[in-house]
Amino acid sequence: MEDLYREHILDHYKNPRNQGTLENPDITFQDSNPLCGDELRMDFKVKDGVVEDVRFSGKGCSISMAAASMLTEHIKGRSVEELKKLTREDILEDLGIELGPVRLKCALLALKVLKAGVYGIQGWPGEDE
């Protein structure tokens, strides 16, 4: 079964969904994972509290880029309030494979960027240090 999940991850990595940027997004946020160099930006178009469109851009390992692609598929049409309730378990369930601590940070970068964007965070405390 884990092989099927690995194929699914590779498919999202090689054929990412919703990749790119949006012109004049309502919400945009970007962050990176300094441990492995992953960089991710997400742009959102929101109307009446619902995500109408989303795009991601960046560079990184297969896990971080596949997780971003999968996440964008799940959030279109959902309310911002629903997005605030997404958890790491939601991401890990989509990926479907066991991850070590370093790869876990890769997998959760998209969720971190999403949450920071919808909560309106301009930077994480201590980020400049």
Using a pLDDT cut of 70, give the percent of the chain over it: 91
Evaluate if residue 114 carries a pLDDT over 60.
Answer: yes
- List pLDDT tens digits, range 96-113: 888 888 889 999 999 999
Evaluate if residue 123 carries a pLDDT over 70.
Answer: no
- List pLDDT tens digits, range 4-26: 778 888 899 999 999 999 999 99
Q: In whole angstroms, what is the distance from residue 16 CA to residue 98 CA? A: 21
- Please state the φ and ψ torsions of residue 55, each to the nearest 5 degrees: -140, 150
Going by C-alpha positions, the residue among 23, 27, 12, 9 that lies closest to residue 84 is: 27
pLDDT of residue 49: 93
- List pLDDT tens digits, range 32-59: 998 889 999 999 999 999 999 999 999 9
Per-domain residue ranges of the chain: 2-119
Model confidence at 1, in pLDDT bands (50, 70, 90)?
low
| Architecture field, domain 2-119 | Alpha-Beta Complex (3.90)
Work out the mean pLDDT of the chain and round it to a whole number.
89
Using a pLDDT cut of 90, give the percent of the chain over it: 73
CB 62 within 8 A of CB 24: no
- Please state the φ and ψ torsions of residue 90, each to the nearest 5 degrees: -60, -45
**Which residue's structure tokens are 């369930």?**
93
